Amino acid sequence: MTGKQLNTRLSAYGICVQDGRILLARWVHGDGPLWSLPGGGVDFGEDPWDAVVREVAEETGYDFEADTLLGIDNLHRPGRFHGVRVYYEGRIVGGELRHEVNGSTDMAAWFDLAELDSLPVSDLVGPGLALARNRPATGHTPLAVEVDL
């Protein structure tokens, strides 16, 4: 595979559902903004649990307590990228809603779960909610995403 850069990225995401509403952050990228679960890359040497707490705070302003490891899924772009995504369920224990400045997201908001079908959402939301709803004993969702680009 000469000339191709292969990358693996470990990331951690928080699922916070309260009173039928879910906390999302708007991810800004080249194809347009998408609502996504708050979270992101785990720094080298960082525990994924610490990363999700840090990332939720950065993207939403809230103090997030990750209390349940729901599971892992992956995004695979053959020959180019492999994303390993760790999902935690938790709750807000402090802080105030605010938008991230100069980051990968530009807004954070609460949405009714019923609204998700009408929102432009990232490919993280489906697998994360599947793990939260089904709580598979293996921590694995069959909704792995493979993208050919």
Cα dihedral 32, 34, 38, 39 in deg (nearest 10):
-50
Q: 87 pLDDT band (50/70/90 cuts)?
A: very high
Asked if the model's pLDDT at residue 74 lies above 50, the reply is yes
Question: What predicted TM-score, i.e. pTM, was given to this entire model?
Answer: 0.89
Provide the mean pLDDT of the chain.
Answer: 90
Amino acid identity for residue 39 in this structure: G
- What pLDDT was estimated at residue 148? 38
Task: Determine contact, residues 90/64, Cβ cutoff 8 Å.
Answer: yes
Count Cβ atoms below 10 Å from residue 87 Cβ, excluding itself.
29
- What pLDDT was estimated at residue 71? 95
Q: In terms of DSSP bridges, do strands 145-146 and 21-27 run parallel, antiparallel, or are they unpaired? A: unpaired
Q: Phi and psi (nearest 5°) for 5?
A: -90, 120
Whether domain 7-138 has CATH 3.90.79.10: yes
